[in-house]
């Protein structure tokens, strides 16, 4: 039975990824090629399915309270930009932008001003 020479580090790679380290940082810490780290993460472990790094607008819409989403949509309808809304709602601007783009897809945004 052939074994992969990196089987003993799979658990370490998994833990580092879950902690938020990038492939490059994991590669540097373990002194292993980034391609091998990517193979371990995405092919062997398929970790991106369980712990996705990129959050989509749909996930944001499901995770936030309806009142907050309604306020973001209302502020957008009145012409406020994502940065102004993010400051008002104490969120990151990229999250507000994702919510706004998802709301536009669902035709929830109609500019008043």
pLDDT of amino acid 34: 93
Cβ-defined contacts of 31-36 (< 8 Å, 24+): 32/6, 36/6
Cα distances from 3 to residues 7, 8, 37, 43, 76, in angstroms, run: 7, 10, 16, 16, 55
pLDDT of amino acid 1: 36
pTM of structure:
0.49
Going residue by residue through the chain (113 aa), what tens digit of pLDDT does each one get? 345 666 789 999 988 888 888 899 999 999 999 999 999 998 999 887 887 776 555 566 677 788 888 899 899 989 999 899 999 988 888 888 888 888 888 888 876 65
Cα distances from 53 to residues 17, 23, 49, 111, in angstroms, run: 10, 12, 9, 32
Tokens for 7, please give them.
């089987």
Nearest alpha-carbon partner for 106 in 60, 67, 65: 60
């Amino acid at each position: 039975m052939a074994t992969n020479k990196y089987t003993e580090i799979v658990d370490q790679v998994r833990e580092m990824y879950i902690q938020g380290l990038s492939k490059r940082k994991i590669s540097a810490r373990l002194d292993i090629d980034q391609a091998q780290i990517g193979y371990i993460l995405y092919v062997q472990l398929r970790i991106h399915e369980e712990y996705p790094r990129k959050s989509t607008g749909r996930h944001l819409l499901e995770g936030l309270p309806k009142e907050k989403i309604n306020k973001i949509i209302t502020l957008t309808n009145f012409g406020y930009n994502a940065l102004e809304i993010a400051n008002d709602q104490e969120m990151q601007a990229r999250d507000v932008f994702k919510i706004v783009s998802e709301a536009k897809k669902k035709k929830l945004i109609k500019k008043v001003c």
